[in-house]
Copies of this chain bind each other. A is one copy, B any other.
Amino acid sequence: MGDVSNDLSRRERRKREVRDRIMRAAMKRFIRQGFDDTRVDEIAQDADVAQKTFFNYFPTKQDLFHQLAEERIDELQEILEEERSGAGSTRQKLEHCFVRLSELLEERGLLARDLILEAMRARPPGMTGEDITKLHTAFGAILRDGQVRGDVRTDHPIEFLTEMVVGGFGAVMNNWVNIRDYPVKDRLAQTAAFLGEAISPKGAGRKGQP
Contact = CB atoms under 8 A, between A and B. Distances in A.
A131 to B, nearest CB: 12
A163 B186 CA distance: 13
Interface residues of A, number: 37
Interface stretch (A21-29, A103-111, A169-177): A169-177
Nearest to A169: B167
A167 B168 CA distance: 5
A190 interface: yes
Interface stretch (A37-45, A58-66, A73-81, A119-127): A119-127
When all copies of this chain in the complex are counted, the total is 2
Nearest to A191: B164
A195 B160 CA distance: 12
A156 interface: yes
Interface of A: 117, 120-121, 124-129, 155-156, 160, 163-164, 166-168, 170-172, 174-175, 177-179, 187, 190-191, 194-195, 197-198, 202-203, 205-207
24 contacts: A117-B125, A120-B120, A120-B126, A125-B174, A126-B174, A126-B177, A126-B178, A127-B171, A127-B174, A127-B175, A128-B175, A155-B206, A156-B190, A160-B190, A163-B171, A164-B171, A164-B194, A167-B170, A170-B170, A170-B171, A194-B198, A197-B198, A203-B205, A203-B206
